[in-house]
Amino acid sequence: MLDRRALIASALAAATIALAGCQTTTPIAAGMPIAAVRVDASRLAELGVGPYAGRIRAIVQAELDRALAPNGQRGGAVVTVALRSLFLSAYVGSAIDDGEGSDHLESLTTVTGADGRVLATYPINSSNGSGDAGAWYAPGLTDKRIDLLAHNHALWIIRAVRG
């Protein structure tokens, strides 16, 4: 027989499990100046992504610089993005099956205050349909898929940091 304590405990456990994947860190204050944005793609290079690691880093860096407008002044927060993994689906759809795989990019974004204290940490996992960048036979499709995924990923980082 279920008593009141067991019922409350199971309800709390269910709520905890349901909310486990939710963002629990609030965005940084809107008025907080950003001194610098750093994007690290060394992990992608270690994983054998090759020249795409530099390409992704450059796109994410440019998007974050544009949106967060780091001013380089002392006393501002530093946004550090560690790109961790890249997955490009081998399947991009066909005429027989309209289903498609997904491309994924994962990173960990850390906002550090001027005193070195971590203000916020945001795990970011973005995905696009593997066919979103165009037809499978289009020239340069892999480059287009990488570019689209990197731009999308940067937008998720901006959303997490600025709210």
pTM (two decimals) = 0.78
Q: Could you read off the pLDDT of 92-149 as tens digits, one per residue?
A: 555 444 556 889 999 999 999 999 999 999 999 999 988 888 887 889 989 999 999 9
Residues 6+ apart with CB under 8 A from 116: none
Polymer length of the chain: 163
User: What CATH number does residue 117 fall under?
Assistant: 3.40.50
- Give how many domains the chain has, as a whole number: 1
The token duo for 25 is 């860190």
Q: Which residues form the domain of 48?
A: 27-162
Q: Positive or negative CA dihedral for 101, 52, 137, 149?
A: positive
Q: Could you read off the pLDDT of 32-86 as tens digits, one per residue?
A: 789 999 999 999 999 999 899 999 999 999 999 999 988 888 889 999 999 999 9
Does 147 map to a domain? yes
Does 88 map to a domain? yes
Nearest to 64 by CA among 86, 82, 39, 43: 39
Does 11 map to a domain? no
DSSP 97: -
Distance CA 87, CA 143 (A): 14
pLDDT score at 95: 47
- How many CB atoms are located within 10 Å of the residue 62 CB? 15
Does 16 map to a domain? no
